[in-house]
Amino acid sequence: MIEQPFFTQFLKASNWLTLVGLILLLIGLWILKRLKAQKVSFSKRMVIGLVIGLIIGVGIDLAGSGTPLYNDFARMEIATWYSLLGSGFLKLVQLLAVPVVFLSIIQVVTQAEAKTIKSLTGKTFATLLGTTAISALVGILVVKLYRLNGADFAGDLTPEKVGRMSELSAQSFPEFFVNLIPNNIFAVMGDNGSIVSVVIIAGLFASAIRFLKVKKPEQVAPVVALFDSLRVTVNSVLTNIIKLMPYGVVALIANTIIANGIQAIVGMLGFIAALYTGVVIMLVVYCFILLAIGVNPLTFYKKAYTTMIFAFSSRSSVGTLPYTMETLEEKLGVSNETGKFVATLGTSVGMNGCAGVFPAMLGVLIASAVGTEMNIAFYVLVVLVVTIGSIGIAGVPGTATVAATVTLNGLGYGAAVSSIGAIFGVDPIVDMGRTMLNVTGNMVSAIIVDKSEGRFNRDLYNS
Protein backbone atom coordinates (compact mmCIF):
# COMPACT_ATOMS: atom_id res chain seq x y z
CA MET A 1 0.00 0.00 0.00
CA ILE A 2 1.16 3.55 -0.81
CA GLU A 3 0.51 5.82 2.17
CA GLN A 4 1.19 9.16 0.52
CA PRO A 5 -1.75 11.66 0.67
CA PHE A 6 -1.73 11.96 -3.13
CA PHE A 7 -2.77 8.31 -3.41
CA THR A 8 -4.87 7.90 -0.23
CA GLN A 9 -6.79 11.19 -0.26
CA PHE A 10 -6.65 12.67 -3.76
CA LEU A 11 -6.37 9.80 -6.20
CA LYS A 12 -8.17 7.24 -3.99
CA ALA A 13 -6.03 4.42 -5.37
CA SER A 14 -3.47 3.47 -2.76
CA ASN A 15 -3.40 -0.34 -2.92
CA TRP A 16 -3.55 -3.29 -5.26
CA LEU A 17 -7.10 -4.29 -4.24
CA THR A 18 -8.42 -0.95 -5.46
CA LEU A 19 -6.61 -1.42 -8.77
CA VAL A 20 -8.13 -4.90 -9.11
CA GLY A 21 -11.57 -3.42 -8.49
CA LEU A 22 -11.03 -0.78 -11.18
CA ILE A 23 -9.75 -3.36 -13.67
CA LEU A 24 -12.81 -5.57 -13.07
CA LEU A 25 -15.10 -2.62 -13.66
CA LEU A 26 -13.32 -1.75 -16.90
CA ILE A 27 -13.60 -5.38 -18.05
CA GLY A 28 -17.33 -5.32 -17.32
CA LEU A 29 -17.78 -2.12 -19.31
CA TRP A 30 -15.72 -3.53 -22.18
CA ILE A 31 -17.94 -6.62 -22.32
CA LEU A 32 -21.04 -4.44 -22.59
CA LYS A 33 -19.42 -2.32 -25.30
CA ARG A 34 -18.59 -5.46 -27.28
CA LEU A 35 -22.18 -6.68 -26.91
CA LYS A 36 -23.44 -3.34 -28.21
CA ALA A 37 -21.10 -3.61 -31.22
CA GLN A 38 -22.56 -7.07 -31.87
CA LYS A 39 -26.07 -5.54 -31.97
CA VAL A 40 -27.27 -7.26 -28.76
CA SER A 41 -30.59 -5.67 -27.78
CA PHE A 42 -30.73 -2.91 -25.18
CA SER A 43 -32.91 -4.94 -22.79
CA LYS A 44 -30.54 -7.92 -22.87
CA ARG A 45 -27.57 -5.64 -22.19
CA MET A 46 -29.44 -4.25 -19.18
CA VAL A 47 -29.88 -7.73 -17.74
CA ILE A 48 -26.27 -8.65 -18.51
CA GLY A 49 -25.12 -5.41 -16.86
CA LEU A 50 -27.09 -6.31 -13.74
CA VAL A 51 -25.49 -9.77 -13.61
CA ILE A 52 -22.00 -8.36 -14.18
CA GLY A 53 -22.52 -5.84 -11.38
CA LEU A 54 -23.64 -8.58 -8.99
CA ILE A 55 -20.67 -10.78 -9.86
CA ILE A 56 -18.16 -7.94 -9.43
CA GLY A 57 -19.70 -6.68 -6.19
CA VAL A 58 -20.05 -10.08 -4.53
CA GLY A 59 -16.67 -11.28 -5.83
CA ILE A 60 -14.73 -8.25 -4.56
CA ASP A 61 -16.41 -8.26 -1.16
CA LEU A 62 -15.98 -12.00 -0.62
CA ALA A 63 -12.33 -11.89 -1.66
CA GLY A 64 -11.38 -8.84 0.37
CA SER A 65 -13.65 -8.73 3.42
CA GLY A 66 -11.29 -10.83 5.54
CA THR A 67 -8.32 -8.49 5.13
CA PRO A 68 -7.63 -5.22 7.03
CA LEU A 69 -6.39 -3.63 3.83
CA TYR A 70 -9.78 -4.05 2.21
CA ASN A 71 -11.86 -3.12 5.25
CA ASP A 72 -9.80 -0.04 6.14
CA PHE A 73 -8.91 1.35 2.72
CA ALA A 74 -9.86 -0.55 -0.44
CA ARG A 75 -13.61 -0.79 0.23
CA MET A 76 -13.95 2.98 0.51
CA GLU A 77 -11.68 3.66 -2.45
CA ILE A 78 -13.44 1.18 -4.74
CA ALA A 79 -16.84 2.55 -3.71
CA THR A 80 -15.64 6.09 -4.50
CA TRP A 81 -14.51 5.16 -8.01
CA TYR A 82 -17.64 3.09 -8.72
CA SER A 83 -19.76 6.05 -7.60
CA LEU A 84 -18.08 8.17 -10.24
CA LEU A 85 -19.76 6.07 -12.93
CA GLY A 86 -22.88 4.81 -11.14
CA SER A 87 -23.94 7.90 -9.21
CA GLY A 88 -22.70 10.12 -12.02
CA PHE A 89 -25.03 8.40 -14.49
CA LEU A 90 -27.93 8.54 -12.03
CA LYS A 91 -27.41 12.28 -11.53
CA LEU A 92 -27.64 12.80 -15.28
CA VAL A 93 -31.03 11.06 -15.29
CA GLN A 94 -32.23 12.95 -12.22
CA LEU A 95 -31.04 16.16 -13.85
CA LEU A 96 -34.01 15.89 -16.20
CA ALA A 97 -36.58 14.69 -13.64
CA VAL A 98 -38.01 18.12 -12.79
CA PRO A 99 -38.29 19.40 -16.39
CA VAL A 100 -39.82 16.07 -17.50
CA VAL A 101 -42.46 16.23 -14.74
CA PHE A 102 -43.19 19.91 -15.35
CA LEU A 103 -43.44 19.67 -19.13
CA SER A 104 -45.41 16.40 -19.05
CA ILE A 105 -48.10 17.80 -16.74
CA ILE A 106 -48.38 20.96 -18.86
CA GLN A 107 -48.75 18.91 -22.06
CA VAL A 108 -51.44 16.63 -20.61
CA VAL A 109 -53.49 19.36 -18.93
CA THR A 110 -53.36 21.81 -21.84
CA GLN A 111 -54.20 19.26 -24.52
CA ALA A 112 -56.81 17.12 -22.75
CA GLU A 113 -60.47 18.01 -22.38
CA ALA A 114 -61.63 19.31 -18.99
CA LYS A 115 -63.85 16.24 -18.46
CA THR A 116 -60.90 13.97 -19.26
CA ILE A 117 -58.65 15.69 -16.70
CA LYS A 118 -61.25 15.29 -13.96
CA SER A 119 -61.76 11.62 -14.81
CA LEU A 120 -58.00 10.96 -15.05
CA THR A 121 -57.31 12.56 -11.68
CA GLY A 122 -59.99 10.63 -9.83
CA LYS A 123 -59.15 7.27 -11.37
CA THR A 124 -55.39 7.78 -10.94
CA PHE A 125 -55.64 8.58 -7.26
CA ALA A 126 -58.08 5.72 -6.65
CA THR A 127 -55.86 3.19 -8.43
CA LEU A 128 -52.56 4.31 -6.92
CA LEU A 129 -53.95 4.48 -3.37
CA GLY A 130 -55.85 1.22 -3.83
CA THR A 131 -52.70 -0.69 -4.78
CA THR A 132 -50.88 0.99 -1.88
CA ALA A 133 -53.51 -0.29 0.56
CA ILE A 134 -52.99 -3.81 -0.84
CA SER A 135 -49.22 -3.46 -0.50
CA ALA A 136 -49.65 -2.36 3.14
CA LEU A 137 -51.59 -5.55 3.80
CA VAL A 138 -48.77 -7.52 2.16
CA GLY A 139 -46.25 -5.73 4.42
CA ILE A 140 -48.18 -6.85 7.49
CA LEU A 141 -48.44 -10.38 6.09
CA VAL A 142 -44.70 -10.86 5.52
CA VAL A 143 -43.81 -9.66 9.02
CA LYS A 144 -46.16 -12.30 10.41
CA LEU A 145 -45.00 -14.90 7.90
CA TYR A 146 -41.35 -14.53 8.93
CA ARG A 147 -42.28 -13.97 12.62
CA LEU A 148 -40.13 -10.88 12.82
CA ASN A 149 -39.88 -8.92 16.05
CA GLY A 150 -38.74 -5.31 16.26
CA ALA A 151 -36.55 -6.06 19.26
CA ASP A 152 -34.24 -8.06 16.99
CA PHE A 153 -33.40 -4.99 14.90
CA ALA A 154 -32.29 -2.49 17.53
CA GLY A 155 -29.48 -0.23 16.37
CA ASP A 156 -28.16 3.31 16.33
CA LEU A 157 -29.14 5.83 13.67
CA THR A 158 -26.79 8.42 12.24
CA PRO A 159 -27.19 11.92 13.76
CA GLU A 160 -28.33 13.25 10.38
CA LYS A 161 -31.07 10.62 10.06
CA VAL A 162 -32.16 11.15 13.68
CA GLY A 163 -32.44 14.89 13.04
CA ARG A 164 -34.41 14.44 9.84
CA MET A 165 -36.80 11.91 11.33
CA SER A 166 -37.26 13.98 14.50
CA GLU A 167 -38.17 16.99 12.36
CA LEU A 168 -40.79 14.98 10.48
CA SER A 169 -42.13 13.37 13.65
CA ALA A 170 -42.75 16.81 15.10
CA GLN A 171 -45.07 17.71 12.21
CA SER A 172 -48.80 17.14 12.36
CA PHE A 173 -50.64 15.64 9.39
CA PRO A 174 -51.87 19.05 8.11
CA GLU A 175 -48.41 20.58 8.60
CA PHE A 176 -46.83 17.86 6.47
CA PHE A 177 -49.12 18.70 3.56
CA VAL A 178 -48.82 22.46 4.03
CA ASN A 179 -45.07 22.07 3.44
CA LEU A 180 -45.82 20.53 0.04
CA ILE A 181 -47.37 23.80 -1.17
CA PRO A 182 -44.59 25.76 -2.91
CA ASN A 183 -43.68 29.34 -2.01
CA ASN A 184 -40.59 29.72 -4.22
CA ILE A 185 -40.77 28.50 -7.80
CA PHE A 186 -37.01 28.61 -8.31
CA ALA A 187 -36.24 26.64 -5.13
CA VAL A 188 -38.78 23.98 -6.10
CA MET A 189 -37.42 23.65 -9.63
CA GLY A 190 -33.96 23.04 -8.19
CA ASP A 191 -34.95 20.20 -5.86
CA ASN A 192 -35.77 16.64 -6.97
CA GLY A 193 -37.31 16.05 -3.56
CA SER A 194 -40.09 18.56 -4.30
CA ILE A 195 -41.85 16.70 -7.08
CA VAL A 196 -45.29 17.25 -5.55
CA SER A 197 -44.65 20.99 -5.55
CA VAL A 198 -43.49 20.80 -9.19
CA VAL A 199 -46.77 19.08 -10.09
CA ILE A 200 -48.73 21.84 -8.33
CA ILE A 201 -46.82 24.59 -10.18
CA ALA A 202 -47.22 22.80 -13.52
CA GLY A 203 -50.95 22.42 -12.86
CA LEU A 204 -51.30 26.15 -12.17
CA PHE A 205 -49.41 27.11 -15.34
CA ALA A 206 -51.31 24.56 -17.43
CA SER A 207 -54.69 25.79 -16.15
CA ALA A 208 -53.75 29.36 -17.02
CA ILE A 209 -52.64 28.30 -20.51
CA ARG A 210 -55.92 26.42 -21.09
CA PHE A 211 -57.85 29.56 -20.16
CA LEU A 212 -55.70 31.89 -22.26
CA LYS A 213 -55.84 29.62 -25.33
CA VAL A 214 -59.54 30.51 -25.45
CA LYS A 215 -59.44 34.14 -24.31
CA LYS A 216 -56.12 35.34 -25.75
CA PRO A 217 -54.88 32.65 -28.18
CA GLU A 218 -52.43 34.86 -30.09
CA GLN A 219 -50.68 36.13 -26.95
CA VAL A 220 -50.28 32.71 -25.33
CA ALA A 221 -49.23 30.91 -28.54
CA PRO A 222 -45.48 31.67 -28.09
CA VAL A 223 -45.55 30.18 -24.58
CA VAL A 224 -47.26 27.02 -25.84
CA ALA A 225 -44.70 26.72 -28.64
CA LEU A 226 -41.84 27.28 -26.18
CA PHE A 227 -43.00 24.54 -23.82
CA ASP A 228 -43.52 22.16 -26.73
CA SER A 229 -40.01 22.86 -28.05
CA LEU A 230 -38.54 22.40 -24.59
CA ARG A 231 -40.30 19.05 -24.23
CA VAL A 232 -38.91 17.79 -27.54
CA THR A 233 -35.41 18.96 -26.61
CA VAL A 234 -35.50 17.41 -23.13
CA ASN A 235 -36.68 14.11 -24.60
CA SER A 236 -33.78 14.16 -27.07
CA VAL A 237 -31.24 14.75 -24.29
CA LEU A 238 -32.87 12.00 -22.26
CA THR A 239 -32.63 9.53 -25.13
CA ASN A 240 -28.88 10.05 -25.32
CA ILE A 241 -28.50 9.56 -21.55
CA ILE A 242 -30.61 6.39 -21.51
CA LYS A 243 -28.20 4.80 -24.00
CA LEU A 244 -25.64 4.73 -21.15
CA MET A 245 -27.93 2.82 -18.80
CA PRO A 246 -26.29 -0.65 -19.04
CA TYR A 247 -22.91 0.80 -18.06
CA GLY A 248 -24.40 2.71 -15.13
CA VAL A 249 -26.22 -0.39 -13.90
CA VAL A 250 -22.92 -2.31 -13.56
CA ALA A 251 -21.41 0.33 -11.28
CA LEU A 252 -24.61 0.98 -9.31
CA ILE A 253 -25.21 -2.67 -8.43
CA ALA A 254 -21.57 -3.47 -7.65
CA ASN A 255 -21.19 -0.35 -5.52
CA THR A 256 -24.32 -1.10 -3.50
CA ILE A 257 -22.87 -4.46 -2.46
CA ILE A 258 -19.32 -3.24 -1.88
CA ALA A 259 -20.28 -0.12 0.08
CA ASN A 260 -22.57 -2.04 2.46
CA GLY A 261 -20.68 -5.33 2.69
CA ILE A 262 -22.05 -8.84 2.53
CA GLN A 263 -21.67 -9.27 6.31
CA ALA A 264 -24.12 -6.44 6.97
CA ILE A 265 -26.52 -8.00 4.48
CA VAL A 266 -26.27 -11.42 6.14
CA GLY A 267 -26.90 -9.90 9.57
CA MET A 268 -30.22 -8.46 8.37
CA LEU A 269 -31.15 -11.40 6.16
CA GLY A 270 -34.48 -12.00 7.89
CA PHE A 271 -35.80 -8.52 7.24
CA ILE A 272 -34.36 -8.38 3.71
CA ALA A 273 -35.94 -11.74 2.85
CA ALA A 274 -39.28 -10.61 4.27
CA LEU A 275 -39.28 -7.39 2.26
CA TYR A 276 -38.34 -9.09 -1.01
CA THR A 277 -41.00 -11.72 -0.32
CA GLY A 278 -43.45 -8.83 -0.07
CA VAL A 279 -42.17 -7.50 -3.39
CA VAL A 280 -42.66 -10.88 -5.06
CA ILE A 281 -46.16 -11.23 -3.60
CA MET A 282 -47.12 -7.81 -4.98
CA LEU A 283 -45.73 -8.74 -8.40
CA VAL A 284 -48.05 -11.76 -8.32
CA VAL A 285 -50.94 -9.56 -7.17
CA TYR A 286 -50.35 -7.37 -10.23
CA CYS A 287 -50.75 -10.50 -12.38
CA PHE A 288 -54.23 -11.10 -10.97
CA ILE A 289 -55.14 -7.42 -11.38
CA LEU A 290 -54.06 -7.45 -15.03
CA LEU A 291 -55.93 -10.71 -15.64
CA ALA A 292 -59.03 -9.18 -14.06
CA ILE A 293 -59.03 -6.36 -16.62
CA GLY A 294 -58.33 -8.75 -19.50
CA VAL A 295 -54.63 -8.02 -20.01
CA ASN A 296 -51.92 -10.68 -20.31
CA PRO A 297 -49.49 -10.27 -17.34
CA LEU A 298 -46.72 -12.24 -19.06
CA THR A 299 -46.68 -9.70 -21.88
CA PHE A 300 -46.54 -6.93 -19.31
CA TYR A 301 -43.48 -8.30 -17.53
CA LYS A 302 -41.77 -9.18 -20.79
CA LYS A 303 -42.01 -5.56 -21.93
CA ALA A 304 -41.58 -3.87 -18.54
CA TYR A 305 -38.64 -5.79 -17.10
CA THR A 306 -35.98 -3.47 -18.54
CA THR A 307 -37.62 -0.52 -16.80
CA MET A 308 -37.91 -2.60 -13.63
CA ILE A 309 -34.19 -3.39 -13.76
CA PHE A 310 -33.32 0.27 -14.12
CA ALA A 311 -35.57 1.17 -11.18
CA PHE A 312 -33.95 -1.63 -9.16
CA SER A 313 -30.47 -0.34 -9.95
CA SER A 314 -31.07 3.39 -9.67
CA ARG A 315 -33.22 3.35 -6.52
CA SER A 316 -35.11 6.38 -7.81
CA SER A 317 -38.70 6.43 -9.06
CA VAL A 318 -38.23 10.01 -10.27
CA GLY A 319 -34.96 9.11 -12.01
CA THR A 320 -36.76 6.22 -13.74
CA LEU A 321 -39.76 8.39 -14.69
CA PRO A 322 -38.66 9.31 -18.23
CA TYR A 323 -38.00 5.67 -19.08
CA THR A 324 -41.28 4.64 -17.38
CA MET A 325 -43.28 7.00 -19.62
CA GLU A 326 -41.43 5.80 -22.72
CA THR A 327 -42.17 2.16 -21.86
CA LEU A 328 -45.85 2.87 -21.20
CA GLU A 329 -46.42 4.71 -24.45
CA GLU A 330 -44.16 2.83 -26.87
CA LYS A 331 -44.38 -0.75 -25.56
CA LEU A 332 -47.41 -1.17 -23.31
CA GLY A 333 -50.01 0.62 -25.43
CA VAL A 334 -50.91 3.29 -22.88
CA SER A 335 -52.04 6.60 -24.39
CA ASN A 336 -49.81 9.65 -24.22
CA GLU A 337 -52.15 11.52 -21.87
CA THR A 338 -52.62 8.69 -19.39
CA GLY A 339 -49.01 7.53 -19.48
CA LYS A 340 -47.59 10.94 -18.66
CA PHE A 341 -50.26 11.80 -16.07
CA VAL A 342 -50.26 8.53 -14.10
CA ALA A 343 -46.50 8.00 -14.31
CA THR A 344 -45.84 11.52 -13.06
CA LEU A 345 -48.31 11.42 -10.17
CA GLY A 346 -47.10 7.91 -9.33
CA THR A 347 -43.67 9.27 -8.37
CA SER A 348 -45.21 11.08 -5.41
CA VAL A 349 -48.51 9.34 -4.67
CA GLY A 350 -49.09 5.74 -3.64
CA MET A 351 -45.66 4.22 -4.15
CA ASN A 352 -46.30 0.55 -3.36
CA GLY A 353 -42.77 -0.24 -2.13
CA CYS A 354 -41.41 2.84 -0.37
CA ALA A 355 -44.76 4.10 0.89
CA GLY A 356 -46.65 0.78 1.12
CA VAL A 357 -44.90 -2.48 2.01
CA PHE A 358 -41.94 -0.91 3.84
CA PRO A 359 -43.69 1.50 6.26
CA ALA A 360 -46.33 -1.12 7.04
CA MET A 361 -43.58 -3.57 7.98
CA LEU A 362 -41.90 -0.99 10.20
CA GLY A 363 -45.17 -0.08 11.89
CA VAL A 364 -45.83 -3.69 12.84
CA LEU A 365 -42.21 -4.25 13.91
CA ILE A 366 -42.16 -1.26 16.26
CA ALA A 367 -45.58 -2.19 17.61
CA SER A 368 -44.21 -5.63 18.48
CA ALA A 369 -41.10 -4.10 20.06
CA VAL A 370 -43.11 -1.85 22.39
CA GLY A 371 -45.69 -4.51 23.24
CA THR A 372 -48.74 -3.20 21.38
CA GLU A 373 -51.65 -5.63 21.13
CA MET A 374 -51.92 -7.01 17.62
CA ASN A 375 -55.57 -7.19 16.56
CA ILE A 376 -57.75 -6.44 13.53
CA ALA A 377 -58.32 -2.84 14.61
CA PHE A 378 -54.55 -2.21 14.75
CA TYR A 379 -53.97 -3.73 11.31
CA VAL A 380 -56.78 -1.65 9.80
CA LEU A 381 -55.20 1.45 11.35
CA VAL A 382 -51.82 0.54 9.83
CA VAL A 383 -53.33 0.18 6.35
CA LEU A 384 -55.25 3.45 6.71
CA VAL A 385 -52.26 5.45 7.96
CA VAL A 386 -49.91 3.99 5.34
CA THR A 387 -52.34 4.71 2.49
CA ILE A 388 -53.04 8.30 3.52
CA GLY A 389 -49.39 8.94 4.33
CA SER A 390 -48.33 7.76 0.87
CA ILE A 391 -49.72 10.96 -0.68
CA GLY A 392 -46.95 13.41 -1.37
CA ILE A 393 -43.87 11.20 -0.86
CA ALA A 394 -41.28 12.10 -3.53
CA GLY A 395 -39.70 9.18 -5.40
CA VAL A 396 -36.00 9.80 -4.77
CA PRO A 397 -33.45 7.75 -2.76
CA GLY A 398 -34.24 8.14 0.94
CA THR A 399 -37.97 8.60 0.35
CA ALA A 400 -38.83 5.48 2.34
CA THR A 401 -37.39 7.12 5.46
CA VAL A 402 -39.89 9.94 5.08
CA ALA A 403 -42.76 7.54 4.40
CA ALA A 404 -41.78 5.39 7.40
CA THR A 405 -41.54 8.42 9.69
CA VAL A 406 -44.95 9.72 8.60
CA THR A 407 -46.47 6.28 9.19
CA LEU A 408 -44.83 5.77 12.58
CA ASN A 409 -45.88 9.24 13.65
CA GLY A 410 -49.44 8.48 12.56
CA LEU A 411 -49.41 5.27 14.63
CA GLY A 412 -48.00 7.09 17.64
CA TYR A 413 -44.52 5.53 17.47
CA GLY A 414 -42.57 8.53 16.18
CA ALA A 415 -40.23 8.56 19.19
CA ALA A 416 -39.58 4.81 19.06
CA VAL A 417 -37.93 4.58 15.65
CA SER A 418 -34.53 3.82 17.20
CA SER A 419 -36.03 0.49 18.29
CA ILE A 420 -35.38 -0.77 14.75
CA GLY A 421 -32.47 1.46 13.76
CA ALA A 422 -30.44 -1.46 12.37
CA ILE A 423 -32.88 -1.75 9.46
CA PHE A 424 -31.72 1.58 8.05
CA GLY A 425 -28.16 0.26 7.91
CA VAL A 426 -29.08 -1.91 4.94
CA ASP A 427 -31.47 0.61 3.41
CA PRO A 428 -29.73 0.67 -0.01
CA ILE A 429 -30.20 -3.10 -0.32
CA VAL A 430 -33.93 -3.07 0.41
CA ASP A 431 -34.41 0.22 -1.44
CA MET A 432 -33.65 -1.48 -4.74
CA GLY A 433 -36.60 -3.84 -4.34
CA ARG A 434 -38.87 -1.09 -3.02
CA THR A 435 -38.17 1.20 -5.98
CA MET A 436 -38.72 -1.58 -8.50
CA LEU A 437 -42.10 -2.22 -6.89
CA ASN A 438 -42.94 1.51 -6.98
CA VAL A 439 -42.33 1.73 -10.71
CA THR A 440 -44.02 -1.59 -11.54
CA GLY A 441 -47.13 -0.60 -9.60
CA ASN A 442 -47.07 2.73 -11.37
CA MET A 443 -47.09 1.05 -14.79
CA VAL A 444 -49.87 -1.35 -13.79
CA SER A 445 -51.95 1.58 -12.53
CA ALA A 446 -51.45 3.42 -15.83
CA ILE A 447 -52.76 0.40 -17.76
CA ILE A 448 -55.79 0.12 -15.46
CA VAL A 449 -56.64 3.82 -15.81
CA ASP A 450 -56.07 3.91 -19.57
CA LYS A 451 -58.22 0.84 -20.14
CA SER A 452 -61.04 2.32 -18.08
CA GLU A 453 -60.76 5.50 -20.17
CA GLY A 454 -61.13 3.46 -23.38
CA ARG A 455 -57.81 4.61 -24.87
CA PHE A 456 -55.71 1.50 -24.25
CA ASN A 457 -54.02 0.23 -27.44
CA ARG A 458 -54.32 -3.54 -27.09
CA ASP A 459 -52.73 -4.21 -30.48
CA LEU A 460 -49.55 -2.36 -29.50
CA TYR A 461 -49.54 -4.09 -26.12
CA ASN A 462 -49.75 -7.53 -27.71
CA SER A 463 -47.37 -6.79 -30.58
Overall domain count for the chain: 1
Percent of the chain with pLDDT over 90: 30
Q: Can you tell me whether residue 35 is helix, strand or coil?
A: helix
What's the CATH code of the domain at 332? 1.10.3860.10
Decide if 439 is inside a domain. Answer: yes
pTM of the model: 0.83
Residue numbers of the chain with a pLDDT score lower than 50: none
For residue 446, what pLDDT is reported?
95
Decide if 63 is inside a domain. Answer: no
**In degrees, to the nearest 5, what angle opens at C-alpha 67 toward C-alphas 63 and 70?**
75
For residue 152, what pLDDT is reported?
66
For residue 375, what pLDDT is reported?
86
Decide if 251 is inside a domain. Answer: no
Decide if 175 is inside a domain. Answer: yes
Residue 19 pairs in a beta bridge with: none
CA–CA distance, 395 with 193 (Å, rounded to integer): 8
Decide if 245 is inside a domain. Answer: no
Domain that holds residue 373: 113-192+261-462
For residue 2, what pLDDT is reported?
77
- In 245-375, where does DSSP find H-type helix? 245-260, 262-267, 269-292, 297-314, 317-330, 336-345, 358-369
CA–CA distance, 178 with 189 (Å, rounded to integer): 18
For residue 52, what pLDDT is reported?
93
Decide if 169 is inside a domain. Answer: yes
Decide if 177 is inside a domain. Answer: yes
Residue 349 pairs in a beta bridge with: 391
Task: Catalogue the E-assigned strands of 48-200.
Answer: none
Decide if 84 is inside a domain. Answer: no
